């Protein structure tokens, strides 16, 4: 079956590993991920002040495109995209004034096909018809973890992995509704479904530093260090993320972290879809492990799964 999928800009360029492993993994679950035609950046930040309505235009445009292609669900893995799309969708559904203004704005939208140069305009109003889901939710609710277990080809050997939620998946609770911000367990359920041992540690929802890695790098270094240290202290051999920015802060900046905090020896950072893809039998070359600054290859050991248990 085909499913609408919004990768977001970073996945296509800087963290291709997350994109490729996602597609390959979903193929093994008989789901073909289809990107909305001519999609553009979601905006990365949901506008927090009431007046910046223009900030809603970009994400709504994406959702409108999904709707026009006949989709009623769009799945994403990047936490930033998930947060913006979901919150914008809700804002539009709840507030008729915002709905009217964004639709008025988008009515003048012109889409130009990159190949044929054909122009499309005069789109119908978007009224919140599409539902935004994170891939983890999709796996739990639409596919079901038991079905994932059935398709497992490789045994991950109860690898102790720390699930890192970060900020945007869980907060604000009323809008994201993903799980309880202070005692979440969806990500851990996923890890157990693919054959890892989920490590419990207190920093699973603490901020990694986010965009401050650029504007206030020392603050971000410390924040990321605390997350990695906590995961490692509680026995994790890897930490798994769903956000490319968390990946950047925890993986790419790990050298900086090690220099600032000499007691930290290092911890590989993985995308959750890389684990999923590997467990479902996808080739190592397709996991995108080349993107990683902290080598993670050693974690991916060939070990066939025991007989399928339902």
* 33 neighbors 285 (Cβ within 8 angstroms): no
Nearer to other proteins, 118 or 263 (CB): 263
Nearer to other proteins, 156 or 254 (CB): 254
For residue 12 the two structure tokens come to: 């296509």
| Partners of 172 in beta bridges | none
Smallest distance, other proteins to C-beta of residue 49, A? 4
Smallest distance, other proteins to C-beta of residue 293, A? 10
Binding residue (CB under 8 A) for other proteins from 3, 6, 7, 10 = 10
Q: Applying CB under 8 A, what is the total number of residues that bind other proteins?
A: 50
Q: Which of residues 35-94 bind other proteins (CB under 8 A)?
A: 41, 43-45, 48-51, 55, 78, 80
Binding residue (CB under 8 A) for other proteins from 146, 172, 177, 266 = 172
Nearer to other proteins, 57 or 212 (CB): 212
Q: What is the pattern of x (binds other proteins, CB under 8 A) and - over residues 114-153?
A: ----------------------------------------
DSSP string, 94-138: H-HHHHHHHHHHHHT--EE-TTT--EE--PPPP-S-SEEEEHHHH
Q: Which of residues 177-236 bind other proteins (CB under 8 A)?
A: 180-183, 202, 205-207, 209-216, 218-220, 223, 230, 233
Nearer to other proteins, 28 or 101 (CB): 101
C-alpha distances (whole Å) from 252 to each of 20, 110, 177, 216 are: 19, 38, 30, 16
For residue 45 the two structure tokens come to: 């930040």
Distance between CA atoms of 53 and 91, rounded to whole angstroms? 10
- Cβ neighbours of 76 (radius 10 Å): 27
Q: Which residue matches tokens 């889901």?
A: 133
Smallest distance, other proteins to C-beta of residue 309, A? 29
Of 94, 89, 167, 100, which Cα lies nearest the Cα of 129?
89
15 interacts with other proteins by CB under 8 A: yes
Nearer to other proteins, 108 or 263 (CB): 263
Q: What is the pattern of x (binds other proteins, CB under 8 A) and - over residues 251-280?
A: -x----------------------------
Distance between CA atoms of 254 and 249, rounded to whole angstroms? 7
Smallest distance, other proteins to C-beta of residue 219, A? 5
Handedness of CA 21, 25, 27, 32 (dihedral sign): negative
Q: Which long-range contacts (CB under 8 A, 24 or more apart) does 292-299 make?
A: 292/17, 292/251, 292/268, 293/251, 293/252, 293/254, 293/255, 294/251, 294/254, 294/266, 294/267, 294/268, 294/269, 295/268, 296/238, 296/268, 296/269, 296/270, 299/159, 299/237, 299/238, 299/268, 299/270
Nearer to other proteins, 92 or 245 (CB): 245
Number of alpha carbons in the 13 Å side-chain half-sphere of residue 279: 29
Binding residue (CB under 8 A) for other proteins from 82, 178, 190, 248 = 248
310 interacts with other proteins by CB under 8 A: no
Window of 9-17, 60-68, 146-154, 299-307 that interacts with other proteins by CB under 8 A: 9-17
245 interacts with other proteins by CB under 8 A: yes
Of 174, 241, 175, 177, which Cα lies nearest the Cα of 203?
241
Nearer to other proteins, 182 or 283 (CB): 182
Q: Give the interface with other proteins as residue ranges (CB under 8 A).
A: 8-10, 13-15, 41, 43-45, 48-51, 55, 78, 80, 167-168, 170-173, 180-183, 202, 205-207, 209-216, 218-220, 223, 230, 233, 244-245, 247-248, 252
């Amino acid at each position: 079956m085909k499913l609408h999928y919004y990768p977001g800009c970073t996945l296509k360029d800087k963290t291709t590993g997350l994109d490729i492993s996602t597609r390959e993994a979903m193929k093994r679950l008989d789901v073909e991920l289809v990107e909305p035609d001519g999609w553009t950046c979601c905006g990365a930040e949901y506008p927090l002040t009431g007046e910046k309505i223009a900030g809603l235009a970009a994400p709504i445009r994406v959702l409108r495109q999904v709707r026009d292609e006949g989709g009623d669900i769009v799945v994403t893995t990047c936490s930033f995209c998930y947060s913006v799309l979901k919150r914008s969708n809700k804002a539009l559904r709840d507030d008729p004034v915002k709905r009217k203004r964004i639709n008025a704005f988008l009515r003048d939208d012109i889409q130009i096909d990159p190949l044929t140069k054909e122009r499309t305009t005069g789109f119908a109003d978007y009224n919140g018809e599409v539902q935004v889901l994170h891939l983890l939710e999709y796996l739990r609710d639409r596919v079901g973890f038991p079905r994932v277990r059935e398709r497992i080809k490789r045994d991950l050997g109860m690898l102790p992995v720390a699930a890192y939620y970060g900020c945007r998946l869980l907060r604000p609770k009323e809008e994201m509704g993903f799980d309880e911000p202070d005692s979440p367990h969806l990500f851990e359920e996923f890890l157990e479904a693919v054959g890892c041992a989920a490590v419990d540690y207190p920093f699973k929802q603490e901020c990694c530093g986010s965009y401050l890695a650029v504007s206030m790098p020392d603050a971000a270094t410390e924040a990321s260090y605390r997350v990695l240290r906590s995961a490692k202290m509680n026995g994790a051999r890897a930490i798994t993320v769903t956000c490319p920015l968390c990946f950047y802060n925890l993986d790419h900046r790990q050298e900086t972290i090690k220099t600032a905090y000499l007691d930290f020896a290092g911890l590989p950072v993985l995308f959750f879809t890389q684990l999923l893809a590997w467990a479902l039998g996808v080739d190592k070359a397709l996991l995108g492990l080349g993107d990683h600054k902290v080598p993670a290859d050693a974690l991916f050991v060939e070990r066939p799964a025991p007989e399928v248990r339902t």
